[in-house]
Every structure is written in structure tokens, then in C-alpha cells.
Amino acid sequence: MAKKVSTKKAEAAEVEAPVVLRPDVDQAVEKRLVALYTLQSVDSEIDKIKIIRGELPQAVQDLEDEIAGLHTRIENLTSEIKETEAANKARVSEVAEHEEQIKKYQKQQDNVRNNREFESLNKEIEFQNLEIQLCERKSKEGKAKISELKQHIDAAKVLLENRQKDLDAKREELTSIIAETEKDEKRLLAKSKEQEQYFTGSDERYLSGYKRIRGAARNGLAVVQIDRDSCGGCFSNIPPQRQMEIKMHKKVIVCENCGRILVDDDIAAKAKAQLEK
């Protein structure tokens, strides 16, 4: 029985024991490091959601741009057909005018007084005939052009229909993924903003530095743990003395190779506890 009482007293003492602050640690720096690593953890979770979506948003955007381009192409081709048809219609009127001129000159030939006048009128008639031939040739070219433009429109419409089907499928897939991850993403984005609120006044420079490092890092990691005596970002070796400085939490220390902010397991554990609250 005495043994059981002793055990209970020990458990009570353990629960009621005050938290002992390490005298060798700068509490302000430690809180800053915890906040930075917590922010990194949240942003990394957001990155994972974006990876799940993969390249779908960009694929959707590319298809939307291509479809918009096809609509513009069809509109331009249709406009060009109308212009060509209008030009052909104008040539029909030109031919009619040239034919009237020929009739006029032929009638005048019946009343010429000499060969010179006859030859002059004959040249005018030849010129009008050449103009008619030119109009007919241009009309023929215009009709061929219209036929070719219509073929281009038909091909563009087929491509547009296929691209629209691809876009609908991609949008449906993206919508499904967003629906699955939207709740988590909103929660994480809110958490990220909440963590950023910690960095006020002179601490804003740490947030700016974090964002700058994160933006330059290919994997989005600005704050990393030491893993097997190495930087968790670039895997370069961290000297023992440097590791001791990191564990002391007296200042924000960055990797000499990649520039990422380095933290130890203690900071990572505190950040994890912060996220679980």
C-alpha cells in the first residue's frame, strides 16, 4: 500500500513541477525561431496541397489561352472571307462597267471618220477587255482564297472543339481536387497569416528574410532542421561548434552554404506543439 501512495505522490509532483527555463537561452530569439519554423511547417503543408494539384491550374490556363486564340483566329478568318467576298462583289460591278465602256466604244466605231480614230477606239476596247480579264482573274483568286480560308476555319473549329473537351475535363479534375483540399488549404492559409502576425516592428525583417529565402529555394524551404550533422536544405555539413550555437537559441543562424535558417530538434518540437494547439 505504501508503495502505491509513493507512486501517486511522484506522479503528482511530476504534473505540478514548474517549467524550468534554460538560462543559456534567449527566450525572445527562441520564440522567434519557433514562430519561423511553425510558419515554415504551415507553408510546407500548403505547398503539398499545390503539389497534389500538380500542373492542372497551369494546364487549364494554357487551354483557356489556346481556346481564346482559336476564337480570335476564327473571327479573323471570317472577317477576311467577308472582305474577300466584298472585293469580288465590287469586281462584278467593275466588269459590268468595262462591258458598258466596250459597247460605247464599239458604237463609236460605227461613226469614225478615219482609221486613226478607229484604231484609237480599238485600243480602248482592248484595254477594257484586259481590265475585265484582270477582274476575272482576281475574282477567281478571291474564290480560291475564300475556299482555303473556309478550310482553315473548319480545321480551327475541330481543334477548338477538341480543346474545349480537354478544358472541360481538366476543369472537372481541378474542381474535384480543389473541393477535396479547399477546407485544409483555407485553414492553413489562415494559420500562415496568423503566424505572420507575430513578426511586428523590428521582427518584420525576419519575415521578409524568410519570404526572400523561401522564394529563392526550389523546394520552398527557408527554415530547416539539422539532420545527421547536415543542413536539412542543401545537406552540407554543419560543424559541431556551429551546431552548439544553434542549440543555444541565442541568435538566428543560417547555413553558410545555402542561406537557409537552421534550427535544432528542440525548436522543431516546440513548433509542432504550437501547431497542435
pLDDT in tens, 70-124: 999 999 999 999 999 999 999 999 999 999 999 998 999 888 888 898 899 899 9
Q: In the predicted model, what is the mean pLDDT of residues 11-33?
A: 61
CATH of domain 56-183: 1.10.287
Q: Is the pLDDT of residue 1 over 60?
A: no
**Starting from the edge strand earliest in sequence, which strands make up the sheet with 223-227, in order?**
230-231, 223-227, 261-263, 253-254
Res. 263 pLDDT band, cuts 50 70 90:
very high
Query: What pLDDT is attached to residue 6?
Result: 43
Query: What pLDDT is attached to residue 24?
Result: 60
Q: What is the rounded average pLDDT for all residues in the chain?
A: 88
How far is the C-alpha of 60 from the C-alpha of 173, rounded, in Å? 10
Higher pLDDT, 124 or 16: 124
Q: In the predicted model, what is the mean pLDDT of residues 189-207?
A: 88
Query: What pLDDT is attached to residue 266?
Result: 94
Residues of the chain with CATH 1.10.287: 56-183
Q: Is the pLDDT of residue 222 over 90?
A: yes
Assessment of whether the complete model's pTM goes beyond 0.85: no
pLDDT in tens, 232-246: 999 999 999 999 999
Is the separation of the CB atoms in 188 and 49 below 8 Å?
yes
Instruction: Name the CA dihedral angle for 243, 277, 210, 56, rounded to a multiple of 10 degrees.
Output: 120
The residue whose grid cell reads 554543419 is 238
Q: Is the pLDDT of residue 4 over 60?
A: no
Report the alpha-carbon angle 10-12-14, nearest 5: 70
Exposed (0-12), middle (13-18) or buried (19+): which is 131, by Cβ within 10 Å?
Answer: middle
Higher pLDDT, 25 or 122: 122
Beta bridge partner(s), residue 223: 261
Q: In the predicted model, what is the mean pLDDT of residues 199-211?
A: 90
How far is the C-alpha of 95 from the C-alpha of 98, rounded, in Å? 5
How far is the C-alpha of 246 from the C-alpha of 41, rounded, in Å? 19
Q: In the predicted model, what is the mean pLDDT of residues 155-179?
A: 94
From 19-33, 144-158, 177-191, the region with the lowest mean pLDDT: 19-33
Non-local (6+) Cβ contacts of 70 within 8 A are: 156, 159, 160, 163
Query: What pLDDT is attached to residue 165?
Result: 97
Query: What pLDDT is attached to residue 86?
Result: 95
Q: Is the pLDDT of residue 17 over 90?
A: no
Query: What pLDDT is attached to residue 22?
Result: 55
Number of C-beta neighbours around residue 103 at 10 A:
12
Q: In the predicted model, what is the mean pLDDT of residues 27-50?
A: 91
Non-local (6+) Cβ contacts of 37 within 8 A are: 223, 263, 267, 268, 271
Is the separation of the CB atoms in 262 and 253 below 8 Å?
yes
From 59-68, 121-130, 189-198, the region with the lowest mean pLDDT: 189-198
Whole-number percent of the chain with pLDDT over 90: 65
Query: What pLDDT is attached to residue 23?
Result: 54
Q: In the predicted model, what is the mean pLDDT of residues 23-39?
A: 85
Query: What pLDDT is attached to residue 65?
Result: 97
Q: Is the pLDDT of residue 231 over 50?
A: yes
Which 8-state DSSP code applies to residue 19? P
Is the separation of the CB atoms in 246 and 262 below 8 Å?
yes
From 146-150, 197-201, 202-206, 226-230, the region with the lowest mean pLDDT: 197-201
The residue whose grid cell reads 538566428 is 252
